[in-house]
Amino acid sequence: MTEQKNSDIGWGMRWPAPAKLNLMLRIVGRREDGYHLLQTVFQIIDITDGLIFNRTDDSRVRLKNTIPGVREEDDLTVRAANILKQETGYQGGVCIDIEKNLPMGGGLGGGSSDAATVLVVLNQLWQLELTELRLMELGLALGADVPVFVKGKSTWAEGVGEKLTPIDLPDAWFVVVKPSCHVDTGKIFSANDLTRDSKSIKIAGFNSGDNQNDCLAVVKKHYIEVERALDELDKYGQARLTGTGACVFVQFGDQQSAQYVYDSLVLGRETYIAQGLAVSPLHKQMSELFNF
């Protein structure tokens, strides 16, 4: 009886898939295969999508509701579950219900985070016993940001995003604005005038205030909505771009300051207030249920 009850834990409950901010982004080179070599800092924040996993009677991976314009088999969550099946030979299926709160195309990592939540949670629910390192390797095949969410901690990343080092970040609150546009990441990284030869820095350099984003100038040039949002946020502090955008943000040292700015903004855009987290809420929930 107890064994059966324990096997039901985690099914049918909401699992968080948190957003991230890139607190800086340097492009320090380019590989022969075209991939850019980066240095960046990932800050996990407390706004999340939610995923619910339900058992099925067949072997198929499917979504309860598909995203308009995205074929079910192309959805990152479905691909993540199928990668687990291919890796382990698992024969069962799952129905995934996604509560989508994070904006698509905003640079907050929503799709990557959703995929990571699938990898982490189904590895447990299906009792596959894959290591965290292997989950990160599988995640990298889905997207450069997925391993960060599998790891679930604030991270200094290098290479093409696969070399991860934990980083201690100060307590922070953020006001995040999503301009009314979708930034094409491929377009930004293929731009002729993109800086690709920034000097590498150490974590100490970032901690001393070096937080440039080498994509900023190109994004502002091609997306006037992003430039306008940055100009508006600059009134309240240093406005920054996360990744290639489109989301922009300002960092604060306390909730009250962030709340004041959030309440003051009249932008006609999606606006969020978020707290920086040292550990992903996904991993906290895993620890509470499974001693993860």
Catalytic positions: 20, 145
Cβ neighbours of residue 75 closer than 8 Å, sequence gap 6 or more: 63, 66, 67
* Rounded Cα distance, 282 and 278, in Å: 12
Residue 224 structure tokens: 């006037």
* Rounded Cα distance, 133 and 123, in Å: 12
C-alpha distance from residue 75 to each of 11, 184, 221 (Å): 21, 18, 31
Residue 84 structure tokens: 């687990």
Nearest CA-CA partner of 251 in 237, 264, 261: 237
Buried b (16+ CB within 10 A) or exposed e, 154-192: bbbbbbebeebeebebeebbbbbbbbebebeeeebbebe
* String of DSSP letters for 261-282: HHHH---SSEEEEEEEESB-HH
Place of tokens 């604060």: 252
Pairing of strands 270-277, 163-166: unpaired
